[in-house]
């Protein structure tokens, strides 16, 4: 290959209500399973909501096996456990100063702001302090970087990881994304009238909003001069703003279109197996994405969305959905868009609620979020698509 | 290459090292600066303090740059760093849901519970379609910030970054130290 | 009714942080969105909270807001007919 070094996946992990490993999660998603359930009266919230929530006991048990005890909040247990499970598949020494940890999260330990929560020092609500719990656990000497860019954080964190490796300062970057649900987050999205009381239906004509979910996911990256055909390479990514509105997406998909264009570069769209979209199942997001994909000349590329399995996992989403997309291509599969039935966006997309075969080896992960931000990242197995 | 710099605390404002005279302190000072140097953007009053701080600081920085304003562009990134993320907005939103007897979650408060909203506010004001990002660190660390700001230029289109430290814990505790940096 | 309109204007100014505006500045028949007061989608959501908090009115479907929030006068009329507190 030669030329510029490539950014290659070393290992990964997903902890979600569907499993504690990447493999468990992929098998469950491929089989069409979901833990999205309706909750009435949970956290004393006056209105019901549908979410994919962790069994906290199961996480506590797994964490305890690794001495991740009750000094840590549930959020911290999730990030440490996910990072530990990704690291244990490698021979990386996390105590080395050539290893950097990047955390992707929107709300971290925000539940600690509730006056009834007294079990932890209040400073742990600071995202940098929560991240420090993780680096201290692994005795990592570097200051952790927290990317907090609303719903696109998980892709931003990977772009950040690529840059840290490209600039040569670090040899490994452990990219961990997570959020755990709470009254704070659910009530906020309810006040935005953004949640569906039923399971979400991405891109569907009858979609009524999103669901939320707990998850942590980790992707470890390194830099390589030569890659082999099974290496997953993070090729090109971009973050772009709509410059339109702080909560509503641009009607013309301005930021997503521009991010897609940079991520695609001069790659032939023919080489791309699918675009794994944000697909939140809100009216405006899905419409916007369809327009952005059309404007980027990618209407012929299949699109899927995974929120119907996990809900929106916020800081985890960009990492979790990237990992599952890699697994799918390893399995020559385009994952079904669970919850989708009839096309409900104005700009035609190739969508399916069934798994579809593919022999292609590249995909684009697309995300958008509050603050008008959008991110796209091209991945290719075995190097440049 | 750093071209311009703005520094703001609750009782101190300077542009490129020159002190700017003002009468008020804290959040009231931000409003005073808005009225004196901006004045035509009523959305300012809806912002949380972090966004007001970033908005005013960026306006002063761009006045100092003196280039033509509001021309759509994709080559300028907006990247801030802080320690407290959106803590002030988080606390304000929590207050709207703390009491079950008086439970009225506020969407206008909730939207600011993401630190990157301020980057969006600046992008909207200036028609910046480029990269916007928010990074949280355990403490202010100029070395890490310099490293990360240099990394922003690895985007193929980015030729300048409006960015730096932007922290706010409440109306009387905040610090902005932001720069306009050109690709070297 | 005039009293309700005046109170409502005060509540809107406070809830939406309409700095430098007084109730006298708001024409109760002018459009709240677009040309008139220039409110946006977050303001619309905040008006839904205002109606629930102050008048005990819960909008089942947020798209109802389009009709109800046409102007302060229309809003006051709706509140008069539907208020529970």
Count residue pairs from B and C with Cβ separation < 8 A.
26
Q: DSSP alpha helices (H): ranges in A31-173?
A: 56-65, 74-87, 127-137, 153-166
The pLDDT of residue A1: 41
A 170-189 near B (Cβ less than 8 A): 183-184, 187-189
Please give the structure tokens belonging to residue B116. Answer: 């990157």
Q: Measured between beta carbons, which residues in chain A are less than 8 angstroms from residue C44?
A: none
The pLDDT of residue C37: 79
- Which residues lie below 8 Å from residue A41, measured CB to CB, with a gap of 6+? A48
CA distance B22 to chain A (A): 30
Count residue pairs from A and B with Cβ separation < 8 A.
169
pLDDT in tens, chain C (85 residues): 899 999 999 999 999 999 888 999 999 999 888 777 778 889 999 999 999 999 999 987 778 888 899 999 999 999 999 999 8
Q: Measured between beta carbons, which residues in chain C are less than 8 angstroms from residue A247?
A: 41-42
Q: DSSP alpha helices (H): ranges in C16-71?
A: 41-55, 65-68
Residues of C with CB under 8 A from a CB of A: 40-42, 45, 48-49, 62
A246 to C42: CB separation less than 8 angstroms, yes or no:
yes
The pLDDT of residue B136: 98
Please give the structure tokens belonging to residue A152. Answer: 């696109």
Check: complex ipTM more than 0.90? yes
- For residue A210, list its beta bridge partners: A195
Chains that touch B (3 or more CB pairs under 8 A): A, C
CA distance A340 to chain B (A): 28
d(CA A33, CA A37): 12
B45 to C45: CB separation less than 8 angstroms, yes or no:
no
* Spans of chain B, pLDDT less than 70: none
B108 to C18: CB separation less than 8 angstroms, yes or no:
no
Domain span at residue B11 reads: 2-182
The chain A residue lying nearest B98, using CA atoms, is: A114
Work out how many domains chain C is built from and give that number: 1
B 73-92 near A (Cβ less than 8 A): 74, 78, 83-85, 87, 90-91
Q: DSSP alpha helices (H): ranges in A296-379?
A: 307-310, 317-330
C40 to A192: CB separation less than 8 angstroms, yes or no:
no
CA distance B140 to chain A (A): 11
CB A341 within 8 A of CB A201: yes
The pLDDT of residue A3: 66
Q: Position of tokens 């910030």?
A: B145
pLDDT 10s digits, A184-220:
999 999 999 999 999 999 999 999 999 999 999 999 9
pLDDT 10s digits, B119-162:
999 999 999 999 999 999 999 999 999 999 999 999 999 999 99
Taken in order C70, C72, C73, C78, the sign of the CA dihedral is positive
The pLDDT of residue A112: 97
Work out how many domains chain B is built from and give that number: 1
- For residue B135, list its beta bridge partners: A147, B81
DSSP B71-123: --BSSEEEEEEESSTTHHHHHHHHHHHS-GGG----HHHHTTSSTTHHHHHHH
* Spans of chain A, pLDDT less than 50: 1-2
Looking at the complex, does the CB of residue A248 fall below 8 Å from at least one CB of chain C?
Answer: yes
Mind listing the domains of chain A with CATH numbers?
A: 6-224 (3.40.47.10), 232-381 (3.40.47.10)
Give the up-direction half-sphere exposure of residue B75: CA atoms within 13 A in the CB hemisphere: 7
The pLDDT of residue A330: 98
Looking at the complex, does the CB of residue C28 fall below 8 Å from at least one CB of chain B?
Answer: no
C53 to B108: CB separation less than 8 angstroms, yes or no:
no
Collapsed DSSP state (helix, strand, coil) of residue A24: helix
CB B148 within 8 A of CB B131: no
The pLDDT of residue C12: 95
CA distance A186 to chain C (A): 16
Give the up-direction half-sphere exposure of residue A129: CA atoms within 13 A in the CB hemisphere: 15
C42 to A247: CB separation less than 8 angstroms, yes or no:
yes
Q: Which of A107, A189, A243 sits opposite B123 (nearest CB)?
A: A243
Chains that touch A (3 or more CB pairs under 8 A): B, C
CATH code of the domain covering residue B153: 3.40.47.10
The pLDDT of residue A2: 45
Please give the structure tokens belonging to residue A220. Answer: 């470890």
CA distance C45 to chain A (A): 7
The pLDDT of residue B24: 97
Provide the residue count of chain B. 184
CB A315 within 8 A of CB A179: yes
B108 to C19: CB separation less than 8 angstroms, yes or no:
no
CA distance A190 to chain C (A): 10
CATH code of the domain covering residue C32: 1.10.1200.10
Domain span at residue C67 reads: 2-82
């Amino acid at each position: 290959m030669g030329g510029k070094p490539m950014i290659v996946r070393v290992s990964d992990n997903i902890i979600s209500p569907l499993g504690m490993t990447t493999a468990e999660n992929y098998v469950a998603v491929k089989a069409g399973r979901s833990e999205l359930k309706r909750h009435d009266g949970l956290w004393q919230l006056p209105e019901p909501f549908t979410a994919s929530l962790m069994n906290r006991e199961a996480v506590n048990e797994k964490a305890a096996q690794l001495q991740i005890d009750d000094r840590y909040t549930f959020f911290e247990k999730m990030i440490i456990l996910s990072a530990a499970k990704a690291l244990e598949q490698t021979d990386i020494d996390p105590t080395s100063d050539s290893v950097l940890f990047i955390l992707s999260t929107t709300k971290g330990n925000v539940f600690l702001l509730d006056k009834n929560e007294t079990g932890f020092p209040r400073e742990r609500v600071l995202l940098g302090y929560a991240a420090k719990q993780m680096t201290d656990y692994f005795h990592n000497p570097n200051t952790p970087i927290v990317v907090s860019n609303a719903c696109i954080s998980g892709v931003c964190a990977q772009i950040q990881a690529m840059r840290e490796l490209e600039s040569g300062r670090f040899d490994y970057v452990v990219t961990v994304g997570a959020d755990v649900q709470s009254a704070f987050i659910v009530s906020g999205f309810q006040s935005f009238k953004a949640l569906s009381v039923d399971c979400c239906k991405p891109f569907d004509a009858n979609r009524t909003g999103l669901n939320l979910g707990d998850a942590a996911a980790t992707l470890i990256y390194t830099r390589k001069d030569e890659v082999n055909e099974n290496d997953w390479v993070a090729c090109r990514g971009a973050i772009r703003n709509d410059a339109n509105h702080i909560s509503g997406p641009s009607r013309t998909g301005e930021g997503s279109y521009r991010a897609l264009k940079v991520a695609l570069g001069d790659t032939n769209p023919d080489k791309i197996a699918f675009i794994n979209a944000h697909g939140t199942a809100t009216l405006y997001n899905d419409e916007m994405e369809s327009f952005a994909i059309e404007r980027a000349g990618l209407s012929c590329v299949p699109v899927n969305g995974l929120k119907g399995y996990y809900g929106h996992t916020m800081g985890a989403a960009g990492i979790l959905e990237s990992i599952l997309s890699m697994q799918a291509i390893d399995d020559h599969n385009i994952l079904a868009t669970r919850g989708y039935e009839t096309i409900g966006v104005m700009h035609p997309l190739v969508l399916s609620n069934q798994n579809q075969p593919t022999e292609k080896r590249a995909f684009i992960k697309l995300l958008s979020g509050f603050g008008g931000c959008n991110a796209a990242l091209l991945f290719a197995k075995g190097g440049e698509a | 290459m750093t071209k311009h710099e703005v520094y703001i605390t609750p009782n101190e404002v300077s542009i490129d090292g020159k002190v700017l005279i003002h009468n008020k302190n804290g959040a009231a000072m931000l409003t005073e600066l808005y009225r004196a140097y901006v004045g035509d953007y009523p959305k300012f009053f809806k912002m949380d303090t972090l966004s007001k701080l970033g908005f005013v600081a960026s306006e002063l920085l761009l006045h100092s740059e003196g280039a033509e304003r509001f021309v759509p562009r994709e080559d300028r990134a907006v990247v801030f760093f802080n320690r407290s993320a959106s803590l002030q907005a988080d606390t304000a939103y929590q207050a709207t849901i703390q009491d079950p007897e008086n439970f009225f979650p506020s969407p206008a408060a909730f939207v600011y519970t993401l630190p990157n909203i301020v980057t969006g506010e600046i992008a909207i004001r200036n028609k910046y379609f480029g990269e916007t990002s928010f990074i949280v660190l355990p403490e202010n660390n100029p070395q890490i910030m310099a490293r990360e700001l240099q990394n922003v230029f690895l985007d193929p289109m980015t030729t300048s970054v409006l960015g730096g430290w932007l922290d706010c814990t409440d109306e009387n505790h905040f610090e902005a130290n932001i720069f306009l940096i050109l690709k070297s | 009714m005039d009293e309700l309109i005046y109170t409502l204007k005060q509540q809107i100014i406070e809830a939406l942080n309409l700095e430098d505006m007084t109730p006298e500045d708001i024409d109760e028949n002018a459009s709240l969105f677009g040309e008139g007061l220039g409110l946006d989608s977050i303001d619309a959501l905040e008006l839904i909270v205002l109606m629930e908090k102050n008048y005990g009115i819960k909008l089942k479907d947020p798209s109802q807001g389009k009709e109800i929030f046409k102007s302060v006068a229309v809003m006051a009329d709706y509140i008069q007919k539907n208020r529970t507190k």
